[in-house]
Amino acid sequence: MPTYNVQVEESVDAKSFYIKNIGDPISSSNRIVITTPSTVVIYPITDTQINSGVSITAESLGLGTYFEDGVYTFDIQNSSGGLITSAREGFLAIIGLQVIKDALSYRIGMDSYLRFITLEKMRILDNLTYCAEIGLLDAFNENLELLKKLV
């Protein structure tokens, strides 16, 4: 029985993602069903694209310029809608970049409240990474919403 493993990587600028099958070759893919934090998008794809890797932009999916932060599910389906394989990824490029920019402006002489908030944002970003590593989807979403309120 073939083993499929789809790898998804978000670009640093949040404008695209790269998706590639790194398992056994897929020979019957027809589309990717992408569940975003706010919508579901169907993107046609060929076997060659998924097996060799393809970069997909937010604009090509009609989602605007950037992918919003949140959890995305990628279902690779055949022409009859049957599931071949699936992947789930947390996208954090926009909020992660803002937290890092804020951390770079951290100074000892800063107001104590601003120092506290900067450090708290870094701790929450660490929590997001940990939640993603161990697969805690609810905790990931809770930490993401908390971080959005602080940024």
DSSP 8-state symbol, 14:
S
What digits encode the pLDDT tens for the residues 90-128? Answer: 899 999 999 999 899 888 788 889 999 999 999 999 999
Q: How far is CA 137 from CA 40, 75, 91, 132, in A?
A: 18, 17, 12, 7
pLDDT, residue 79, reads 86
What pTM did the predictor assign? Answer: 0.85
What digits encode the pLDDT tens for the residues 22-39? Answer: 999 998 888 999 999 999
